[in-house]
A and B are shown apart, each in its own frame.
Chain A
């Protein structure tokens, strides 16, 4: 059974850095073709892809946010970490992590999401 779960602070002050952790089970990020990505959704708005790390440590970022994002993986812990700097109230959203495989590319398993509010 594949599961993913996001964890991190529910509230972040503006200008500070957000660190989110995705802890997963049922698959390995050392398996060829596997990736884990982050997607966010502001309240009442659409999904926005943020970043993706593959089994071979290839990393891809949203062009509009790449200067603020860092994604890393810890294969031994089955975790993927997303760091977003210089948080702004406009970054208030539910943040999801999801698995992807290069066989089809789609995000086939999703976490439940974690709501992050940026406010002082």
Chain B
């Protein structure tokens, strides 16, 4: 059972905008920043969004992130087939001497 809650699946058609969500609590998302990782099938995770809404170099601006209170969201506009992947949110949790927590992941299917 993951500390951060993500819907297990999401889907969209090419060109569409999709959003996925990550729900936490006051000790993690409510107090700290959120990061998002993309994991393409059979590969290692890749940092997609850091510090709530920042994109690392090379990540298209089709990807955007936001945070409000104890929840965060990742949006993908102009959906492409290569966006089909698992997406994980993560945040630092201040409880128990501090530790990282991940969401259970959302599997995005491009129809």
Q: Which residues of A are interface residues toward B (Cβ below 8 A)?
A: 37, 39, 46-49, 52, 60-63, 96, 98, 104-113
Q: Which residues of B contact A48 (CB under 8 A)?
A: 102
How many residues of B are counted as interface, with CB atoms below 8 angstroms from the partner's CB atoms? 26
Q: Which residues of B are interface residues toward A (Cβ below 8 A)?
A: 2, 32-33, 35, 37, 44-47, 50-51, 54, 56, 88, 90, 92, 96-105
- Chain B, Cβ-Cβ closest to A113: B44
Q: A61-B99, A104-B33, A110-B44 are in contact. List 20 more A-B contacts (CB 8 A).
A: A46-B88, A46-B102, A47-B37, A47-B88, A47-B105, A49-B99, A49-B100, A49-B102, A60-B97, A60-B99, A60-B100, A96-B45, A104-B35, A105-B35, A106-B47, A106-B50, A106-B90, A107-B35, A107-B37, A110-B47
**Whole-angstrom distance between the Cβ of B62 and the nearest chain A Cβ:** 19
**Whole-angstrom distance between the Cβ of A17 and the nearest chain B Cβ:** 22
